[in-house]
Chains A and B, each alone.
Chain A
Amino acid sequence: MSRLRTIAPAIVATLIAFALVTVISGPKAASAHPLGNFSINRLLIANLQESGVLSVEYVVDSAEIPTFQRISAVDTNGDREVSDAEAIAFLAKESTKLLNNLYVEVDGEGVALASAGGSVELLEGQGGLLTMRIVVEATGALPEGWSDGAKASIRDENYEGQAGWREIIVRPGAGIDLFKTSAQTEDVTSGLTVYPEDLLKSPPSVSQATFEFKSGTTILSSPSRRARTSVARDEAQRSLGRFASLVDERRLTPAFVALALLLAMGWGAMHALGPGHGKTVVAAYLVGERGNGRHAVYLGLIVTATHTISVFTLGLIALFAADIFDADDVYYWLSLASGVLVLVLGGMLLQSRVRALLRGRRYVKHTLSGHEHAHDGHVHAAHEHGHSHSHDMEARRAFLKGNSMLVAPPAHAHDGHSHNADGGHDHHHGHSHVPTAPGWRGIVALGVSGGLVPCPTALVVMLGAIAIDRAVYGLVLVTAFSFGLAAVLTGIGLLLVYGRRFLDRRAAGLAFLKSGWAQRFIAVSPVLSALAILALGVMLTGRAML
């Protein structure tokens, strides 16, 4: 990425300062605290109780250095242990200090927190040093009327700017409904005693939370959903790892290659089901443009081709043109191009559909009135009620002239006092004058955009294959992968195309679709889907520039 190119060297450069100023070396061994020996970790757990009591548990876990800096305040006699007397004396001062920096507001009213006990302990840390764990318990009274619904906020201003785990947890007790909460409801650290070991997950840094609550039936969500998704994710991770390993299988028997191709396709499909990959754009486009099965298939083929070419090109660039291009840079530009493509497509669609909508509205009137051909070239304002009668008259005349094929059935024409409300029109106007099929340019743009950004997994396979002189095999695997990826996009497209047709057929008989609002919505829906594509384009472009 370009960001990488510009920032990384700057960082690297700045690192040499450490040769001059000489710097602290990062501890090499993993330390117990997620933020190292300098951290002060804070956790606030707020329990909302039916009785109108807010109970707060506030935990401060200081790592070795901050503990050392203030140990004399706790361990006054220096025996490395906290006696009861020392604990009481220390907590008396400390809990007031800590609680004074916690701000709880319910419906704009401050809730005073009164200390309700606590504890302090010194634990063995690294290097013969100690760590300190302070727990302060407090309660506050919720203001009257909270049970009908209240908005609340919690702010923690202790140790601002200090590195460490910072988290706020809000738990509804029995008989309380909690909603719109920005806080977590589950403590994954068991009160800051165990920290997650996954290094590539920055610790939370939450010092503020807002939530709403009222009295109600308890809904204590089961943790099973979270567990299930993480299992699924682990499975996905394993499979993707295996895809990459396909490439360095030592002996390539035909059976193995065949299996590998199948697997590659499967993983491509699975990858397409993950976030991104323009599924939404495809859906919005095909539905809005009333594409057919052929469009969906071509779209799939274009995605396959683009993705394969893209991965292969990037692989070749990495090999032969690394001087000029950084793989990261190319990746960045491709993401950006893909986003811009969707953006432009969305813009074009929006423009043509708005135009079509305006034209379509007029056509609604004219077709209804049988005016369109009989009075060629006359265009009437769509929403002038005053004209309905004249339309009606003209329609009747047209009908009587024998233009019945072009004209709505007489019943409709007679019925024309309320154009928009007449559901029967749905079939022969409204959409019939909106572009009937997606433009090929649109399909190509969409397909290219969907395949342009190479999936890193495929890229690794490609580069790995090239590195062990199996470029062709790598290309074949990547093609299969892209094909699987495209198959999912096509499948979704087909599903939507046929699903929509099915719905159209069924919908003709649905009463609610005859309402004015439904009609209006149907008329505007292509514009909405164009807007959706435009919005996605903005999002993709923005994310690429991130």
Chain B
Amino acid sequence: MAAQRLTRNAHGLEGRLLILWSGVLLALGLSLAAALSGLLLDGDATVPGVSAAEEAAAREQRIAFFEGRAAVDPIDFLSLNNLAAEYLQRARETGDVADYARAEQAASRSVEILPVDNYAGLTLLASVRLVQHDFAAVENLAQRALPLKPLGATAYGLLGDAQLGLGRYDEAFENYDKMRGIDAGLPALSRLANHAFITGDRFDSIDLWKQSIAKARGLPVENQAWAHVQLGVTYFAYGHHGDAAKEHERALKLFPDYVHALAGLAQTQAAQERYDEAIDLYTRAVSKLPQPQYVAALGDTYAAAGRNAEAQQQYALVEAIAALYEANGVNTDLQISMFYADHDRNVGQALTMAQAAYEAGPSVYAADALAWALFKNDRYPEAAAMSEVALAQGTPEASFLYHAALIRLANGDEAGASDYLAQALDLNPNFAPVHAETARELLAGLETKQ
């Protein structure tokens, strides 16, 4: 019958439409499920293969979103917490120090709004203070955050960071270990790796950095690149310049023009006396982020290549940056102190800065800088005592040993000096362009004497 045929047709039509709609809904559901499972599995929406540029664009969107929220609702501490985290990460990626000021503003406002149950706010503010090397404040904030979430990993990490900066290495290890017990991810492993490096545990530091790299997958690309750079730095310290270069190249592949990788690679090139390549790489790094340590290294590379006028230009730039630090009330900077002492400029200033830094955080790095500055100010016995502190942990820094050797020599201990020089060159034969050469000559001189 015609009517029945029509009925069937109508059902056919409705059936098709229903299939279409259920298809649409299924697709929506599936994409949602995929996104959700991605979140659940990685804990992050970052899919491997997302480029640094894409991440940065997404970050800009999130920042704009949360800035809008924070502007509309002045006590929306959750948005402020998100903003602080995003600013901190953006600062790491762009080197834009103004983002640290923004992060500070966002995190401190969040803690002001909600001083009690604000674990994220407190730990983020602590992270900002860590960048500012205000270790006492970091310790205080982390202690405040800890009881709010005893099973939270972040506060343990920050507490350990404060103790690391304050030279309390055993306590730092305990907290890092607790952190690993809660969440054995990149944050905990990289801290333990750094601790192992400082305390001279060669096997552990390299192994832990490798584990960190494995765990960095799914995190922002910059974090992955950073872990590679740290492994590269560790390899370099032990004199494995080829392995170090490989890690920095991996980092650059992940995060193009990553300043720390450029500088790290430059260091390996300079160590192999490929000065032109090193100069090129340092110049790229410095033009993106004129960090005084890298500017000074560029100057040293120019000097090693015999291009003195250009070296002087870079040294002048370091001094300009130092002037800015002073204007901004930063007077604890180890890089500047080291630069002054290394280049026999403002050695008095170098001592003042190193003393302030050692007082604020008696780490092995501060101890080494202070020892070196004391030596440059002809205060040899004090320098010798301080260099013992710097070497106490067995940190594989050839420059520590080189400084110790020169201090021994100044104190008349030639045997001790040649022992340290041999150790330094054994650890890392070309640890620094000018100094490594000096060390070799001195050692040869001392040996012929003996």
List residues of chain A with CB under 8 Å of any chain B CB. 1-31, 33-39, 64-65, 68-69, 126-129, 161-163, 199-202, 205, 233, 236-237, 240-241, 244, 274-275, 318-319, 322-324, 326-328, 331, 340, 343, 347, 350-351, 354-355, 358, 362, 378-382, 384, 455-457, 459-460, 463-464, 466-467, 534, 538, 541, 543, 545-546
Contacts and interface: CB of A to CB of B under 8 A. Distances in A.
Given A199-B105, A319-B117, A460-B114, 15 more contacts: A7-B220, A8-B120, A9-B185, A12-B123, A15-B88, A17-B226, A18-B130, A23-B291, A26-B98, A27-B97, A38-B290, A163-B95, A200-B70, A378-B3, A546-B61
A393 B105 CA distance: 79
Contacts of A318: 117
Contacts of A347: 25, 28-29
A419 to B, nearest CB: 15
27 contacts: A4-B120, A8-B154, A16-B190, A18-B130, A23-B131, A23-B291, A25-B325, A26-B101, A27-B101, A28-B330, A31-B98, A34-B98, A36-B97, A64-B324, A65-B324, A127-B324, A129-B323, A161-B257, A199-B102, A323-B149, A324-B151, A354-B18, A355-B14, A358-B14, A463-B114, A464-B116, A545-B45
Given A38-B97, A343-B32, A456 B324 contact: no
A76 to B, nearest CB: 15
A362 B73 CA distance: 51
B64, B70, B190 — most chain A CB neighbours (10 Å): B190
Contacts of B78: 1, 327-328, 331, 456, 459
Contacts of B133: 18, 25
A4 B127 CA distance: 13
B187 A326 contact: no
A355 B187 CA distance: 53
B62 interface: yes
B101 A199 contact: yes
Nearest to A384: B6
B7 A379 contact: yes
A194 B152 CA distance: 43
A18, A274, A343, A456 — most chain B CB neighbours (10 Å): A456
Interface in B91-115: 91-92, 94-98, 100-102, 104-106, 109, 113-114
Contacts of A69: 290, 317
Dominant SS among interface residues on chain A: helix
Nearest to A30: B101
B64, B198, B323 — most chain A CB neighbours (10 Å): B323
A64 B120 CA distance: 35
A16 B164 contact: yes
A27 B323 contact: no
B153 interface: yes
A26, A205, A455, A467 — most chain B CB neighbours (10 Å): A26
A519 B409 CA distance: 100
B171 interface: no
A464 B88 contact: no
Contacts of B132: 25-26, 28
A27 B324 CA distance: 8
Interface stretch (B79-87, B240-248, B299-307, B423-431): B79-87
B140 interface: no
B434 interface: no
Contacts of B269: none
Given A35-B98, A241-B74, A326-B152, A65 B290 contact: yes
Instruction: Bin the interface of chain B by size.
Output: 35 or more
A511 to B, nearest CB: 32
A456 B77 contact: yes
Q: Which 8 pairs show the lowest CB-CB distances between chains A and B?
A: A26-B100, A13-B187, A127-B327, A27-B328, A127-B323, A9-B187, A323-B151, A163-B96
A444 to B, nearest CB: 21
Nearest to A375: B3
Contact of B161 (A19, A201, A233, A467): A19
A49 B105 CA distance: 43
B39 A2 contact: yes
Given A129-B320, A326-B119, A464-B114, A380 B288 contact: no
A542 to B, nearest CB: 9
A44 B196 CA distance: 51
A98 to B, nearest CB: 17
A9, A35, A380 — most chain B CB neighbours (10 Å): A9
Contacts of B29: 347
Given A10-B187, A22-B365, A26-B100, A15 B161 contact: yes
Given A19-B363, A39-B98, A350-B21, A11 B320 contact: no
A6 B226 CA distance: 16
B362 interface: no
A68 B326 CA distance: 16
Contacts of B151: 323-324
Contacts of A324: 151
Contacts of B10: 362, 379-382
A244 B320 contact: no
A126 B324 contact: yes
B130 A14 contact: no
Nearest to B151: A323
Interface string B177-189: 0000001011110
A456 B233 contact: no
B233 A21 contact: yes
Contacts of A19: 161, 164-165, 194, 363, 365
A538 B165 CA distance: 46
A340 B335 contact: no
A462 to B, nearest CB: 10
A202 B84 CA distance: 12
Nearest to A15: B130
Contacts of A240: 73-75
B260 interface: yes
B204 interface: no
A537 to B, nearest CB: 9
B21 A354 contact: yes
Contacts of B333: 24-25
A467 B328 contact: no
B89 interface: yes
B76 interface: yes
Nearest to B78: A456
A523 to B, nearest CB: 15
A1 B248 CA distance: 32
Given A8-B124, A351-B21, A456-B73, A546 B65 contact: yes
A18 B219 contact: no
B8 to A, nearest CB: 10
B45 A3 contact: yes
B41 to A, nearest CB: 12
Contact of B102 (A202, A328, A354): A202
A290 B235 CA distance: 71
B334 interface: yes
B239 interface: no
Contacts of A23: 131, 291
Contacts of A538: 28
A383 B332 CA distance: 83
B7 A8 contact: no
A36 B290 CA distance: 12
B335 A22 contact: yes
Contacts of B229: 17
B187 A12 contact: yes
A457 B73 contact: yes
A241 B74 CA distance: 7
A322 B81 contact: no
Given A322-B117, A358-B13, A384-B6, A11 B127 contact: yes
Contacts of A18: 130-131, 133
Nearest to B100: A26
A9 B77 contact: no
A64 B333 CA distance: 19
B371 interface: no
Given A9-B153, A15-B161, A322-B148, A163 B73 contact: no
